[in-house]
Amino acid sequence: MTNLDKLIKAFSDALELEPELINDELSYGTESWDSIAHLALVASIEMEFDIMLSSEDVIDMSSFKKAKEILTKYDVGF
Amino acid sequence: MTSVFNLEGKVAFVTGSTRGIGWATAKTLVRHGATVILNGVHSQQLLDQRIDEIKKEFNVESNGFLFDVGSLDSVQKCYNEIFKRYKKLDILVNNAGILEDSLIGMITKENIEHTFSTNTTAVVYNLQFAARLMSRNMSGSIINISSLVGRVGNEGQVVYGCSKAAVIGITLSAARELAHKNIRVNAVAPGFINTDLIKPLSKEIYQQRLNSIKMKRIGQPEDVANTVLFLASDLSSYVTGQVIGVDGGMIM
């Protein structure tokens, strides 16, 4: 499974969305991505990649595209 | 027979745990099987000494981090280390606290900021990171050390009382927010406890405080630690959003 697949899975699991709906346009506030789902999403990503995000990154992670950018800081390549 | 307070396999972090209530709590949790991470702010030597004492008395390894719990960067680094080493956290005891008496008219901005940084802001910082680690396992217990002063007030302790009352507010809100993740949040409100915090008291004040305790004795750090143990253990698995006084029936 590639890192992109893993990230899509994390989003899909946490937001309860079909993987086909996960793309760069997906952003906080759309679909089922609300404040409560956001923390579930953070936990899902952290578990998938075995990392712990900083508080700033948790707050900054406002889209799927942004999530990929943030993860590169944790040596996760796409 | 396994202890009803069995904490084997649990990882606990106790802030301000090189002295007083924090140290008694750390030892109590270790005694019941938990792996405990210590924290101090002033002395690496004392922190190392405490780790050695745990090793000698209980023959188990513990860890310790020297940092100011009011520093967000330091708190983040600590939780990153906890994550790296243990991959989880089961118990957080927000114990670190300071007491700087100031009468009304003598309260400084620095006094307010310093007290709130350690007694209140740090509780939110630690709670946030701990809850993230705990939510992965959908399980955890957070115990915040408040104070009787935060419930009933005391002369000369406007700032301290406010900072400790805020801890109760944090506890009640966090308990509601985290209950669905099976993370319990409770507070302990100690009364007059025999720690370094009361050393500066005059004999007269000491006696006055003692006279106000219905059980006619000063509390020991272990009295508080045992209540924390109950809240950390599965015996309190249906208890959240509570403030438990450990004060011997004290009326200030």
What's the pLDDT at B252?
55
Question: And the tokens for B45?
Answer: 């030597």
Q: How many domains does chain A have?
A: 1
Answer yes or no: is A36 within a domain.
yes
Q: What domain range includes position A47?
A: 3-72
Distance from CA of B79 to the nearest CA of A (A): 8
Catalytic residue among B79, B86, B160, B238: B160
Chain B residues in contact with A39 by the CB 8 A cut-off are 132, 135
Give Cα A71 distance to the centre of its chain: 9
Using pLDDT thresholds of 50, 70 and 90, give the confidence band for residue B52: very high
A63 domain-assigned: yes
Model-level pTM?
Answer: 0.92
Among partner residues B72, B79, B135, which is closest to A52 by beta-carbon distance?
A: B79
pLDDT band at A44 (very low <50, low <70, confident <90, very high): very high
Contact A39 B72 (CB under 8 A): no
Instruction: Please answer yes or no on whether B128 and A55 come within 8 Å at the CB atom.
Output: yes
- Say how far residue B10 (Cα) sits from the centre of its chain: 17
* Domains of chain B by start residue, with CATH: 11-245 (3.40.50.720)
What confidence tier does B247 reach under pLDDT thresholds 50, 70, 90? very high
Say what the pLDDT of residue B199 is: 86
The backbone region for B76, taken as left when phi is positive above 0, alpha when psi lies in -120 to 50, beta otherwise, is: alpha
Any B CB within 8 A of A2 CB: no
* CA distance to partner chain A, nearest, from residue B86 (Å): 12
Residue A77 resides in a domain: no
In a domain, A61, yes or no: yes
Of all residues in chain A, the one with the smallest CA distance to B136 is A43
Whether A78 is covered by a domain: the verdict is no
> Is residue A18 situated within a structural domain?
yes
pLDDT, averaged across chain B: 95
Structure tokens that stand for B113 in this block: 């900021």
Q: Say how far apart CA B33 and CA B206 lie, in whole Å.
A: 36
CA A77 to centroid of chain Cα atoms: 14
Specify the residue for token string 């217990």.
Answer: B141
Phi and psi, residue A64, nearest 5°:
-65, -40
Does residue B2 carry a pLDDT above 70? no
**Active-site residue, B86 included:** no
CATH code, domain carrying A15 = 1.10.1200.10
pLDDT in tens, B111-160: 999 999 999 999 999 999 999 999 989 999 999 999 999 999 999 999 99
Instruction: Give the per-residue SS3 of B109-158.
Output: HHHHHHHHHHHHHHHHHHHHHHHHHHHHHCCEEEEEECCCHHHHCCCCEH
Is A20 a member of any domain?
Answer: yes
Per residue in B61-109, pLDDT (tens digit) is: 999 999 999 999 999 999 999 999 999 999 999 999 999 999 999 999 9
Would you say residue A23 lies in a domain?
yes
